[in-house]
Amino acid sequence: MPELPEVEAARRELEPVMHGARFERVLVRRPDLRRPFPRRFAARLSGRTVRALTRRGKYLLADLSSDETLLMHLGMSGSFRLDHSDPGPHDHVVFEMSSGTVVTFNDPRRFGVMDLVATLRLDAYPALRSMGLEPLGDDFDGAALARACARRRTPIKVALLDQRVVAGVGNIYASEALNLAGLSPRQRASSIATPGGAPKPAAYRLAAAIKRVLRSAIARQTAATYRQSRFRVYDREGEPCPTRGCAGTIVRLDQAGRSTFYCPVCQRAQTSIAVPTPRSRR
């Protein structure tokens, strides 16, 4: 499933051909994705100029000259292609831009979303209004992360997947950041804060690790095809821990129906939450 780095990489690829360009023609090849397209979707886009292309969590936001915003979510299998090839069976939306580029949205599993909302009401959009801080933003640091986790008794890995805590991290990069920070995915989220919500050193380590793994992943995404061999621990069950000086072995456990990968040697739990360990989807 695309996570923040994949979405940010898509934004950086689309921005040069969409920012400042008009939608000359919009072709919608089916009535819905995860849910139906908005009423008169193609007509409301046609002739409109993209004033800015930004990202919020895992959403791409195209600010339009009509004072509406086009929201795009990749879902589980969505991606954009820039070419003039004929649409294939999973090419559901085609944007012909005045820049001369054809932008095609491909989504085999159709879990993606495209919506139009009045820009002035964007903050009230259900998926955005309760979203946590952007992990790459200036406001996100150890203190902010501690405040978001202070009252949460769930495992910290599960908390990082909650979009109300931090926007867009996702399953892969939560495992990566926790390993880099030397924190167990099983310890309580509140363990990185004092009872009053002040940050402990672990909160600063984790916030810095989140920024580092996301920036590294974005850099790789924009440079070349992403390779799973670059992951520190994700999908590396049974392999040696990559932390220097650690003799541990990566294990896998199930948390909230998702696979978590970590080293039980250098990621010892402080206040752990007991979890079952059945096999789950990766």
d(CA 134, CA 112): 21
CB atoms within 10 A of CB 231: 19
d(CA 212, CA 138): 14
d(CA 112, CA 164): 20
Catalytic residue at 3? Answer: yes
DSSP track, 148-160: HHTT--SBHHHHH
Catalytic residue at 126? Answer: no
- List alpha helices for the chain, DSSP H: 4-18, 41-45, 126-129, 142-149, 156-161, 170-181, 201-223
Contact indicator for 69, 63 with CB cutoff of 8 Å: yes
Place of tokens 């990621």: 267
d(CA 158, CA 170): 10
DSSP tag of 63: E
Catalytic residue at 155? Answer: no
- Strand pairing report for 23-28 and 91-97: antiparallel
Catalytic pick among 48, 58, 205, 232? 58
Catalytic pick among 152, 186, 205, 258? 258
Tell me the Ramachandran region of residue 255: left when phi exceeds 0, alpha when psi lies from -120 to 50, beta otherwise: beta
Catalytic residue at 258? Answer: yes
d(CA 166, CA 149): 10
Identify which of 203, 205, 179 has the alpha carbon closest to the alpha carbon of residue 192: 203
Catalytic residues, by residue number, are: 2-3, 58, 258
